Homo-oligomer: A and B are copies of this chain.
Amino acid sequence: MTLAKPFLSDNAAAVHPKLWEAMRKADEPDNPYDGDALSGELDAHFTALFGRECAALWVATGTAANCLALATMCAPHGGVVCHAEAHIEVDEGGAPGFYLHGAKLMHADGEGAKLTPQGIAAVIDPIRNDVHQVQPHAIAITQASEYGCTYSPDELGALGAFAKERRLGLHMDGARFANAAAFLGGSPETAARSASGPVDSLAFGFIKNGGMGAEAVIMFDPEAAMQVRYRRKRAGHLQCKGRYLAAQILAMLDNGLWLANAAHANAAAQEVAAGCADRLLHPVEANELFVRLTPAERDALRSQDFAFYDWGADSARFVTAWNTRSEDAVALGKAITAL
């Protein structure tokens, strides 16, 4: 099936040609699992990218990346504070309950699916400090958020300070981290560093950004990283031909492809936004748009071959990708304006 003018999701976009190239090169025989040369290079590349020591492990999905990281900072009897609309709460089929052995997700509110110290405190301050109530162990945020909003360095700094003060781990779901970094930053290094500074771990997404099946779990604590290694195997996520995953990630890092792809998607989103600024439910800071549209208006767009998801009764979600054609984005913006 071919989807014309696809704004359904970036999660089904084609794989970038550079990644195909890199994977084909990985056909050369090497050691299995993560014993190959490519996998061996990951730590160094991400340490350079973030400007601080870290371990980087590939996994096939963001769900696994998030849960493996969270399991290092929340005991089975603890809780993870996340937004009520966070992906880990709403769309991962209960994976945190599985990987964290029954730990509890605690739902905080916040504009644009973003958390704030105040929003988190509103959830955890009423928890009695006794064994009858599950105690919070960690916080999970999403950068960019489920509504395509980004945390500014200041917002992140405040969250980091809050987490530290309350002795809570801080994990970042970065399924669209690249889009956030592209929005926030000038140079990739600065954006990434400021964006990820205070977190203990990051699920760095590549799949929505032109990858095939490789995300990176970035762990800034070496002991926690070792735990992830064991837990990744235990979860059946240590692929024996891991070099094909490493190849994807390295190709993404090469020459800043990850940022370029994200910048492209973000730009396309802005092209759409230009046509519907007055209908936006959230500021467009990454590659997602949430647009007020009646059912009739949505029908009208679909009749023009635009593909997208409904979002509740009176709006729709549009997602751009690394390969969204500028002409399609502009056309969509105009089509909405014309409604």
Contacts and interface: CB of A to CB of B under 8 A. Distances in A.
Interface of A: 1-3, 6, 8-9, 11-15, 20, 23-24, 27-33, 36-37, 59-61, 63-65, 67, 75-77, 79, 90-104, 131-135, 207-208, 212-213, 227, 229-241, 243-245
B11 A61 contact: no
A93 B103 CA distance: 10
A200 B235 CA distance: 22
Contacts of A132: 33, 91-93, 233, 238
Contacts of A29: 2-3, 6, 12-14
B236 A64 contact: yes
Nearest to A131: B233
Nearest to A17: B27
A176 to B, nearest CB: 13
18 contacts: A1-B28, A1-B31, A1-B36, A2-B29, A8-B32, A14-B27, A14-B28, A15-B241, A20-B24, A77-B94, A77-B227, A93-B131, A94-B103, A94-B234, A95-B235, A97-B104, A213-B213, A235-B236
Nearest to A29: B3
A30 B15 contact: no
A95 B207 contact: no
Given A3-B29, A98-B102, A241 B93 contact: no
Contacts of A27: 14-15
Contacts of A12: 29-32, 36, 240-241, 243
Nearest to A126: B312
A32 B60 contact: no
A-B residue pairs, 7 tightest by C-beta = A97-B102, A64-B236, A93-B233, A63-B236, A11-B240, A14-B27, A131-B233
A9 to B, nearest CB: 6
Given A61-B236, A98-B76, A241 B104 contact: no
A95 B241 contact: no
A238 to B, nearest CB: 7
A28 B2 CA distance: 7
A93 B77 contact: yes
Contacts of A20: 24
Contact of A236 (B59, B75, B134): B59
A77 B28 contact: no
B2 A239 contact: no
A33 B76 CA distance: 22
Contacts of A9: 32, 240
B37 A1 contact: yes
A172 B31 CA distance: 27
Given A91-B133, A104-B97, A133-B90, A30 B3 contact: yes
A36 B314 CA distance: 27
Contact of A240 (B65, B93, B207, B243): B207
A94 B229 CA distance: 13
